[in-house]
Structure 1
Amino acid sequence: MPDHDRSGDPADILLVEDNPGDVRLTQEAFKEGQIRNTLHVVTDGVEALDFLRRRGDHADAPLPDIVLLDLNLPRKNGDEVLDEIRSDPDLEYLPVIVLTSSEAQEDVVQSYELQANAYLTKPVDPSEFIETVRSIQQFWLSVVRLPPYDEE
C-alpha cells in the first residue's frame, strides 16, 4: 500500500480484545457510527502477532491500517504485543491505540514508553464509545499522514 490517504476507502482495523462484551460494543459502535471499515477481531496477544505477521490461520490477513489494543490479554499481554510490534521493522510504524479499561498511571506511562500512538480509557457509556470510535476513524484514518509501508 503506497499511500495512507484512505479517507474514501474502508479501513482495515484490528481489534485485540478478549472480553466478548467489549468486542460486541466495539462492533456496534462501528455499525451505529456508520463507519465504513473491516473490523478484524483477535482475542489474545499471540493471535494478534500471528495476524500482523500473517502466520498460521492468518496467512491471508491484510495488514491493518490501525490496531486497537487492549492491555489485559491472555497468553501475551498488550505491553508485550506493543513491544514486539515496535521492534519489528515491518510493523514498527503501524498506528497502535491502546484501548483499555485501566486508568492506572503506570499503564499509561508504560504504553507511551513502548511507543503507543495513543492511550484511551474505555468509556462505559455506549454513545460515548461511538463518539470515541468516530474520533479514531476521523483522526487516524483521514487526518493523520503516516509513512508509507511496503506490502509484500
Structure 2
Amino acid sequence: MTTGRLKPIEILLVEDSPTDALLAREALGESRLFNQLHQVSDGVEAMAFLNQEGAYATAPRPDLILLDLNLPRKDGREVLAELKTDERFKRIPVIVLTTSHAERDILAAYNHHANCYIVKPVDFQKFTSVVQSIEGFWFAVVTLPPEN
C-alpha cells in the first residue's frame, strides 16, 4: 500500500492510558504506511498540540486524531466539541476510540461530528486489528481534504 505522499501521515493519539498508547504505537508500527504518531495524555495537551503552543510550537497538523473520551483535565467530549467548531480543525477526521459503550457518549460524539466511534477491544490482537483497519481505511481508501 502506498499513499502517494512524500511526507508521513501525521496521527495525533489523545490517550491517557500508557498501555493503550503503547498498543496503538505497536499496531501502527506494524503498518506498511509511513506514519508519525504523536501522543498526548489529556485534552489540554491535545489543544496545545493543535494550536502549536508551548512545547508543541513546532507540532505538525495531524491528518487524523484518535481520541479517547475519558481524559483528565479536559475530557474528549470537550475536545471534540471544540475541534469541530473551530474552522482550522473541523475537517480533521476524529476517530473516537474509547472504552465507553454508553449510548449517551455515542450520541454525543456523533452530535459533535465525530467521524466514527469505536469501542476499544481489550484483546491485543483485536486492538491491533482495529487500529490497522482505521489506518488502512483513512489513508488507503479515503481521500482527505486539504489543510486549508
Provide TM-score, normalisation by structure 1: 0.90
Amino acid at match of 1:52: L
Structure 1 match to 2:25: 27
Q: Identify the match of residue 7 of structure 1 among 3, 13, 16.
A: 3
Distance across 2 between alignment mates of 1:24 and 1:134: 14
Counterpart in 2 of 1:3? none
Does the 8 Å CA contact 2:9/2:34 hold for their aligned counterparts? yes
Q: Distance in 2 between matches of 1:75 and 1:109?
A: 22
State the match for 2:57 in structure 1.
59
Match of 2:14 among 16, 36, 41: 16
Structure 1 equivalent of residue 71 of structure 2? 73
Describe the SS at the equivalent of 1:49.
helix
Paired residue type of 1:142: A
Q: Pick one of 130, 144, 147 that aligns with 1:146.
A: 144
Q: Displacement, 1:125?
A: 1.0
Counterpart of 1:140 in 2: which secondary structure? helix
Distance 1:21 1:134 in 2: 17
Is 1:89 aligned to residue 110 of structure 2? no
User: CA–CA distance in 1 between the matches of 2:102 and 2:12?
Assistant: 24
Residue ranges of structure 1 left out of the alignment (5+ in a row): 1-5
Query: What's the TM-score once normalised by structure 2's chain length?
Result: 0.92
Distance 1:95 1:83 in 2: 13
Contact 1:98-1:116 at 8 Å conserved across structures: yes
For structure 2, list consecutive stretches of 5 or more residues without a partner in the other structure: none
The CA distance in 2 between the partners of 1:95 and 1:84, in whole Å, is: 14
Percent sequence identity over matched residues? 51
Partner residue in 2 for 1:99: 97
| Larger RCO (alpha carbons 8 Å, 6+ apart) | 1
User: Bigger CA drift: 77-86 or 138-147?
Assistant: 138-147
Q: Secondary structure at the match of 2:66?
A: strand
Q: Please, which moves more after superposition, 42-51 or 25-34?
A: 25-34
Q: Which moved more, 1:113-122 or 1:34-43?
A: 34-43
Q: Specify whether residues 35 and 149 from structure 1 end up closer, same or farther in structure 2 by C-alpha distance, changes over 3 A only.
A: closer
CA distance in structure 1 between the partners assigned to 2:134 and 2:4 by the alignment? 15
Offset, 1:112: 0.2
